[in-house]
A and B are shown apart, each in its own frame.
Chain A
Amino acid sequence: EAQVTQNPRYLITVTGKKLTVTCSQNMNHEYMSWYRQDPGLGLRQIYYSMNVEVTDKGDVPEGYKVSRKEKRNFPLILESPSPNQTSLYFCASSLGGLMNTEAFFGQGTRLTVV
């Protein structure tokens, strides 16, 4: 089954404790991205990757890191989480680099930083 898998689904952590949210897709997609979703603000892009070893900042990259060492995986790293990073996070992938094909989303990770 074609899918994007995120882990964990739920996470409560403390300020400053490094964490990684994993994302994996099995569709051989070139394009992957991370979004955060907050009430009233919609989906805001954090980082995106056009292909292996190619990553770019989205609208809200501060406090986040990503890596794309292999095509299927695109982990999101919070080196020192803060309460304002409490949000619902989605990973997405699509076939086309120009995003002219539909995006497939993971099930989301609800992160709470206390």
Chain B
Amino acid sequence: GQNIDQPTEMTATEGAIVQINCTYQTSGFNGLFWYQQHAGEAPTFLSYNVLDGLEEKGRFSSFLSRSKGYSYLLLKELQMKDSASYLCAVSVNDMRFGAGTRLTVKP
């Protein structure tokens, strides 16, 4: 089967750093994506990792370890607008999503 697991909910404080973990077991791997989704809106692309290591893009970074089936999304200098769901997705022959992590940023 295909499993993509991430925590259901997280809470963090404005200005802080938060790490959202994702573990996966899939039959095949063409890369791992992170998407952001605000309530009632469409998911939007944040990052893509296909090789091991850290990809940095502004306040957001994403890490991948293929041997461990593990990724994380790191959000720095949290802002209130970062309150959203964060979706981990693995590309196999198609795109498979985790259930998402709802992040709440508090003042």
Q: Within the assembled complex, what's the spacing in Å between the Cα atoms of A60 and B7?
A: 23
Q: Within the assembled complex, what's the spacing in Å between the Cα atoms of A43 and B86?
A: 12
Contact of A103 with B45 in the complex, beta carbons under 8 Å: yes
Residue of B nearest to A91 (CB): B42
Write out the residue numbers on chain B whose beta carbons fall within 8 Å of the beta carbon of A19: none
Contact of B41 with A33 in the complex, beta carbons under 8 Å: no
| Residue from B40, B95, B100 within 8 A of A99 (CB atoms) | B95
Interface residues of A in 27-68 (CB under 8 A from B): 33, 35, 40-45, 48, 56, 58
Q: Within the assembled complex, what's the spacing in Å between the Cα atoms of A41 and B96?
A: 12
Contact of B42 with A102 in the complex, beta carbons under 8 Å: no
Residue of B nearest to A105 (CB): B42
Contact of B42 with A42 in the complex, beta carbons under 8 Å: no
Residues of A within 8 A of B (CB-CB), count:
24
| Residue from B31, B41, B43 within 8 A of A43 (CB atoms) | B43
Residue of B nearest to A90 (CB): B42
Write out the residue numbers on chain B whose beta carbons fall within 8 Å of the beta carbon of A104: 45
Residue of B nearest to A58 (CB): B94
Write out the residue numbers on chain A whose beta carbons fall within 8 Å of the beta carbon of B94: 33, 45, 48, 56, 58, 99
| Residue from A44, A45, A58, A102 within 8 A of B45 (CB atoms) | A102
Contact of A108 with B41 in the complex, beta carbons under 8 Å: yes
Q: Within the assembled complex, what's the spacing in Å between the Cα atoms of A102 and B87?
A: 13
Interface residues of B in 22-73 (CB under 8 A from A): 30-31, 33, 35, 40-45, 48, 50
Q: A98-B30, A98-B91, A100-B91 are in contact. Are A43 and B97 (CB under 8 A)?
A: yes
Interface residues of B in 58-107 (CB under 8 A from A): 87, 89, 91-100
Residue of B nearest to A35 (CB): B97
* A81 interfacial contact with B, CB 8 Å: no
* A75 interfacial contact with B, CB 8 Å: no
| Residue from B33, B41, B44, B93 within 8 A of A98 (CB atoms) | B93
